[in-house]
Structure 1
Amino acid sequence: MSGLNIISNTSLTMFILIGIPGLEDANFWIAFLLCFVYLMAILGNCTIVFIIKMESSLHEPMYFFLAMLAALDILLVNSVIPKMLGIFWFDAREISFNACLVQMFCIHSISAMESTILVAMAFDRYVAICNPLRHKSILTSSIVAKIGLVAVIRGAAIMAPLPCLIKRLPYCRATVLSHSYCLHQDVMNFSCADISVNIIYGLIIIISAMGLDSLLIFLSYFLILRAVLRLSWEVRLKAFSTCISHICVVLIFYIPFIGLAMVHRFGKRSSPIIAIVMANVYLLVPPVLNPMVYGIKTKQIRQSIMKAFHRNATRPELFH
């Protein structure tokens, strides 16, 4: 340990973020693609929130949860992409220690909030299909708002210890991170001290939060499947059609998350490009695809968007 330059958490001032190793010469052009992804995510999710807010026919639990998910996606891309654009366009790779902790907290807490909302959406589909007569009485507007509040509090509470666990550690001077943003599982590996507490708490979060959420979602769809199989073929198709969008969004969220967790836990000898690609897919792809999935697969949203565009297109005719 004497041969290592170690700095305490009080003297550490910044981390260095990276772009994509081996593609440094293409960073300027990659940033345009990243900017396109950013605009698509913002435009798509803002459209979802606006349409659900304006169309009274969409004031139902499923769409309220979707609006919450879209709002969280907006917060997520805003906590990540502006800094990434600075890296790719201006080589602004430095991030202060405290800013890194804030970004880390935002990324992990928003992800946990989204996971909770996905559970709520699965429960909504379960009640709507298995107990439709009580759907409105069970998932009232008040209950939906409380579920949203619980999602925010839960996500913030379980992730709040992460910055504290990072701040207590001493670091070696080689603080060039492995991604374009700060993740707990990445930052902790640059410490020169024992990180067992960080590893254990990270596993607790994965098992008790993400693991439990995925189990509850699976249980909801198992009960839905069991109930639907008793119905006629035509009714089965109609029931499954109301679930397909949510199933797609769940897969878009959890598959990259599981892949990223596996790479960080067991892929120490794999190429760093794999971890970078998985991390970018996990954070950037769901906010872009979620509005598309619901816009294409959900008839009510698709019709509401078309109605809004038609209304705006015909409005100037009123002045002729």
Structure 2
Amino acid sequence: MGAVVTNLFARPNSNYVVGEDILDAILADDANPLGNIAAIINQGSSVLDIGAGNGLLGRVLARAGKDVAIDAIEPNPFAASLIPTCYRQVYQGYLQEFHDQIRARNYDYIVMADVIEHFADPQPVLQELLKCLKPDVKLLISLPNVAFGGVRLSLMRGNFVYTDSGILERTHLRFYTLELARQLFAKLDLSEHAIYFLQRRFTHTEFNSDVRSAGFINRVRLAFDPTARAYQYLFIVGYGRLPKSSVVKRGEGCYGAVVDATLFGRAIDRLFRKLLTIRSRFK
């Protein structure tokens, strides 16, 4: 076993405490990675949730009606104490401590939802993990997109502000674009089965004030760039070559970003939605 990587997570305990009401909100949010992961995982599957936090994925799966056998690995003791009983087994500690247990389970899915950006060097960690998995395993890996339009517009104004939650979370040790993520998976000899672009409107994120202060032309240009609209990416990767990976776009598309890009974005948005409501009454 390689050296155990520690001290990766330093979030306030309060960040891990969430109520039941968030579950339906996650499932209703097309751009939420956990909701999309729950839709991807098949009934009756065996799942390992690495970096499980408070066990939110297991709760989402249960709310979505997915009957799966799910285990968790979580390094934070407080977060691990919150993981619900829908998890079969909770391993409190770091991934590299549980290779033997992973090898014995033959998981169908390995989930790393916004986890690899917390590793200083994820490649050797993932290489060791892959040695423990069966050939037809699928890895579901979501990560924040540092090339999101809100980040780009903030940088244009000279701002790079760390936050407690979001793309520039202060616990992130690596930052990824679409191309950098693809390069990592290629080095691991993993094939892309699908890539989900989880799109959000620039002004509906932590970058709202910088976006509204940015230049009109820059906002419009980024509105038409799919890699700028992606707040996060969700990859399905595994062994075995496919002719072509699927590209799935979820969440707010080009319309929302274009509305944000206009000088009177809020007014246009209200007018458009009002027109849609009026139209629906005459159908």
TM-score when scaled to structure 2? 0.27
- Per residue, is there more helix in 1 or in 2? 1
Q: Which has the higher contact order (CA 8 A, sep 6+)?
A: 1
- Per residue, is there more strand in 1 or in 2? 2
- Higher-Rg member (1/2): 1
